[in-house]
Structure 1
C-alpha cells in the first residue's frame, strides 16, 4: 500500500470518527431536550405543552444533521492546529444553532417575533453543538494517538524481525564457513603433518626405537583427533548432508548412534515431497533448526540412560513442521525448576521466536518424548 493510499485511509477514518462521535452525542442531547421540553417544562410553562413532541424532534434532528454536515464540509478532521480547529467547531456549532431555530420557527415551536426565546434557543443549541463536537474531537484525537502507537509498535516488531533474520543468515553463513574450514583446511593440514611424521618414523625406526614409538603414538593421536574431534565439531556446526535435505541429515545423525541402539525414522509423504532438494521447499535455516531439535532429543536420551530404541517422527501439518523424538530409556523426571541455560530451554526460546514450541514429557512406562513444532516460512534463509 502506498503512502498516499495510507494517508487517504487515515483521513476517511478520522472523518468517520469525528462525525460519528459528534452525531451520537448531539442526538442524545437533541432527544433529551425534546422530551424535557414536551413533558417536563409543559407543567411549568403551559403554552409549551401545545407544541407536539415530533416538531421538537424534527427541529433538533435537522440541527444535528446540520452540525455533522458542517463539520464534514469544513474539513474539521483535517485540521491539526487547536486554534483553527476551534474556529471550525464554532462555525459548525453556530450553523446548527441558527438552522435549528429556523426550523423551530417554521414548525411553530416558537413565534418569529419571540426574540428572547429565539436568542436563547440559538445560544443553547450552539453551545450543545460545540460540546458535542468537542467530544467528537476527543474521540478523533484518541484514535490518532492509538494509530500512532500501533504503527510504532508495528515498526518496532518489523525491526526486530529484520534483525533476527539478519542474525539467522549470518549464523548459517559462519557455521557453514567454519565447518568447511574444519573439514577442509584443518583436515588437510593434519594429513600433511601425519605424512611428514610417517617419513620421519621410517627413518628413525631402526636407529631409535623409542623415538619411533613416540612418533607412532603422535600419529595415532592425530588420526583420532582428525576422525573424532575435527569431524564431530564440523558436524555440530553444520550437520552432515544438510544440503541434501532434512531427512538425509536426520538419517546421518541417527546413523552415528551406537549399534546397540535401534533407530526408527517415520516421515510424512507431504514432508518428503517438500524436502526434495530439487524443489523450492524447506530452507537451509529450517532444516538446520529441525536437525538441532532432533540432536538435542537424542543427546538427552543418551545422557539420561542409554535407550534401546530411538524413534523420530517428521510430518507436515498445515504450515507447521512437527517433530517427535521418543526413547525408551530411563524414566523421565520433570524438573522442579527448568534450567534456562539448558540446550532444551534455549531451543524452546529459539522456536518461540519463529512461532513454534517445544516440550518434553514422560512416556509410560519409561522413557521420554520430545515434541516440537516449527512454523515454515518464519525462519529466514540465506539470500
Structure 2
C-alpha cells in the first residue's frame, strides 16, 4: 500500500509538472505572437516612412509631414507596447481593453501615410461583445498591411471587413505580379503562422497566398462570441 501511494504521488507530481510546463510554453508563444504583431508592424511603417523622408529634403513641407508620421508611429508603438506589458503584468486588472475593429481606420490611415494606397470598406455593425474575435480581426489586418508595406510597397491594397451576427470576415488583397510573395513572404513566416493559430483556436478559417491574377490575398473567417 505504501509503495502504491508513493508511486501515485510521484505520477501526480509529474503530471502537474507537465501541465505547468505546457501552460508556460503556451503563454510564451502567446506573448511572442503579440510582440511580433505590435513591433513588426510599427517598425516596418517607421522604416518605410524614414526611407521616403530622405528623398524629400528639397520639399520642406512634405519632409515635415513624413517626419511627423514617423513620430506618430513611434508614439503609437510605445502605447501598444505599454498595453501589452500591462496585460503580461500579473497585477493587471480586467478593465483594460484590447485593440478592436473600431481602431482599424487608424491602422489604415497609418499605412496610407507610409505611402501605401489602401481602400478600406467596413460593413455591418460590430457586436457589443465579440470576445477575442475583435482582436484577431485587428491582427489579421495589421499583419497583412505590414506585409504589403514590406513586399508590395506602393501597390494598391484593399481591406474589407464584414461584421455578421456570428462571425467577422476579413479580406486584405494587394495588387501586383510579384511572384516572390509566397504564403510567408520573404521572412520567417511567423506572422502568418501566428494568425492561422489565432483563427484556428476560435474555430475559424484562414487563407493566405498568391492570387491567380497577381498579387497576394489574406482571408479570415472569425467566429464571434468567444470570451477568451
**TM score, norm. by length of structure 1:** 0.34
**Aligned match of 2:173:** 326
Of Structure 1 and Structure 2, the greater strand share is in: 2
1:42 matched to which residue of 2? none
Q: Given that residues 183 and 209 in structure 2 are in contact (C-alpha distance below 8 angstroms), is that contact kept between their aligned partners in structure 1? A: no
Residue 224 of structure 1 deviates from its aligned partner by: 10
Structure 2's unaligned 5+ residue stretches are: 1-18, 36-67, 85-95
Q: Are residue 234 (structure 1) and residue 79 (structure 2) matched? A: yes
Counterpart pick for 1:263 among 82, 106, 118: 118
Q: Counterpart of 1:361 in 2: which secondary structure?
A: strand
Which runs of 5 or more structure 1 residues have no equivalent in the other structure?
A: 1-158, 176-222, 275-279
Structure with greater proportional helix content: 1
- Identify the residue that residue 156 of structure 2 maps to in structure 1: 309
In the other structure, the counterpart of 1:369 is: 217
- Residue 244 of structure 1 and its aligned partner are, at CA, apart by 10
Where 2:152 maps in the other structure, the secondary structure is coil
Task: Compute the displacement of 1:371 (Å).
Answer: 0.3
Q: Secondary structure at the match of 2:120?
A: strand
SS at the partner of 2:149?
A: helix
Cα-to-partner distance string for 1:99-147 (whole Å, 9 max, x where unaligned): xxxxxxxxxxxxxxxxxxxxxxxxxxxxxxxxxxxxxxxxxxxxxxxxx
Q: What is the distance in 1 between the residues matched to 2:148 and 2:213?
A: 15
Which secondary structure state, in structure 2, belongs to the residue aligned with residue 256 of structure 1? helix
Counterpart Cα distance in 2 of 1:374 and 1:347: 11
Q: Which residue of 1 aligns with 2:198?
A: 350
* Cα-Cα RMSD: 4.1
4+ runs of 1 displaced by more than 4 Å?
223-228, 236-239, 242-245, 338-341
Quote how far apart the aligned CAs of 1:310 are: 1.7
Change (3 A) 1:301 1:273: closer
Q: How many residues align?
A: 158
Distance 1:361 1:235, change over 3 A: same
Task: Tell me the distance in 1 between the aligned counterparts of 2:166 and 2:69.
Answer: 43
